[in-house]
Structure 1
Amino acid sequence: METTEASILLFRACLALLAMPVYLLSFLGLWEPFCKKVFFPFILKKLSAVHNRKTLKQKQELFRNLPEFAGASGELKLLEIGTGCGANFQFYPPGCKVTCTDINPHFQQSLSQSMKENQHLHYERFLVAAAEDLSQVPSGSVDAVVCTLVLCSVKDINSTLKEVLRVLRSGGAFYFLEHVADDRSSWRYFWQQICYPTWKLVFDGCCLTREIWKNLEQANFSELKLQHITVPLPWPLIKPHIIGHAVK
């Protein structure tokens, strides 16, 4: 165990040296604003396009039963946490009323493009809000909440899930698709631990080693359908995923 931990620290130090310009910019307070305004919106658009291609069938199946959670009026009110560039819009059913939220307001260009390409939806509003504080959304006001590739970077997963449960009406559903930590005995998990600090800095808080399924299992959902899958992405560290939905 001590040898493994020493190896992780050594490799982390080597990786930090390679990423020294980013660490220096971060120390000077310059990396975070550049990352949020320029780098991460650019990277997320590219990543989302690849991720959508690799998970097309899984996403189609995941969101297939969304209409079943429409309210008594027949309208489906959906809240998406961490909307980013709107990568999920194409999978939502026609007429769905969508409220978008994101802590980063700098996705305007790609988000507007996605909205133009998906005019089968009704876009109600965009809220700049952290996932842990959705106070602008009334309790029990939405039929479904969607969160994909977001729980890896929120500051507090449990607080986020509490907010999800609060805004959902009774019987509403939470849909998720997240990359997660690999099995702790695997080589991938070993490298996830090594890359964790630098990866988190470069990719705006994204954490490689979160076992998000445990948080979902401990949350107060009445029903949880969760599956572990491997997505054939070109980036091995984020291939392990969980996918499913939970009912309040």
Structure 2
Amino acid sequence: MTPHRQITPDCLKRLFAWGMAKANTADNSAIKLQGCNSYETMAQLKQAFFADLDGRVLEIGPGAGANLSYYPTDIYWIGIEPNPFMHSYLKEEAERFGLHNIELRLGSAERLEIEDNSIDVVVSTHVLCSVTDLVTTLREIRRVLKPDGRFLFIEHVAAECGTWTRRIQDGIEPVWKTMFDNCHPNRETGEILENVGFESVDYQQFNLSFPIFSPHIAGVARKKIVEIVEQDSKSLINTQNI
């Protein structure tokens, strides 16, 4: 059965794009991370995460371009953004921060129009909460990554079962999804990430001061180096059996 997709009216999409663009002016240095051993602010986290990006970088759901200021300017950046009202803001931000090798596409993370084994790094920040099919999205990310390619993610996830925060997340989910472009405040993203076939998944958990939008996880998943070899071997066997 095909999962039901939350349909967001264009008026809300336009408003959401405008709000995301306004949020780009926020100082990430003012967003404090609680319980994070390595970084004190969201700005420090993003600076460390994105400093060594190179090659072909695919960002799913880049929104209005909140991450672009942290990227090296010599990367080839591909953005897959399903909200068409975000695109003008993305182009402005890319120009503002000197990213000239860019490719902006309208599409969804569940069906990436990208070649197999062609991307060096995939980036997702606060996106996996809103995709319709999380498992399909993660498998698509793994498919397009080159062998040993990296998937970098910063995501808010469900609080621990039985806590007041989790009860609130569960209770407001229907309204929250409508207001915030299909965002699920109670999605158990970390557990799902660990079971979709990446070679390794490493992340740390921390909190923000806003409880519904917390806890967070930030980390990296790597694609298997030998995965392409395994695929080629299967193709060879199938050819020999013809």
Same fold (TM over 0.5): yes
Match of 2:239 in 1: none
Q: Which runs of 5+ in 1 are unaligned?
A: 1-25, 68-75
Match of 1:131 in 2: 109
Partners of 1:83 and 1:205 in 2: how far apart?
15
Provide the aligned C-alpha RMSD in A. Answer: 1.9
SS, match of residue 66 in structure 1: coil
C-alpha distance after superposition, 1:56-107 (max 9, x if no partner)? 011112224434xxxxxxxx11001001111111221230110111111111
Partners of 1:217 and 1:48 in 2: how far apart?
31
One-letter identity of the residue aligned with 2:164: W
Partners of 1:33 and 1:94 in 2: how far apart?
32
Give the number of equivalent residue pairs: 207
Structure 1 moving runs of 4+ over 6 Å: none
Query: Are the equivalent residues in 1 in contact too, given 2:135–2:196 (CA < 8 A)?
Result: yes
Following superposition of structure 1 onto structure 2, how do residues 182-201 of structure 1 map, counting pairs within 5 Å?
182-201=159-178
Q: Provide TM-score, normalisation by structure 2.
A: 0.80
Deviation at 1:116, TM superposition (A): 1.8
Partners of 1:113 and 1:64 in 2: how far apart?
21
Q: Between the two proteins, what is the percent identity of the paired residues?
A: 34
Q: Which runs of 5+ in 2 are unaligned?
A: 1-5, 32-41, 224-242
Q: Pick the aligned partner of 1:242 from 214, 217, 221.
A: 217
Going by fraction, where is helix more abundant, 1 or 2?
1
Partners of 1:220 and 1:123 in 2: how far apart?
31
1:40 matched to 2:16: yes
Match of 1:73 in 2: none
Q: Provide TM-score, normalisation by structure 1.
A: 0.78
Q: Pick the aligned partner of 2:184 from 204, 207, 223.
A: 207
Partners of 1:137 and 1:220 in 2: how far apart?
19
One-letter identity of the residue aligned with 1:63: F
Residues 153, 51 of structure 1: CA spacing in aligned structure 2 closer, same or farther, 3 A cutoff? farther
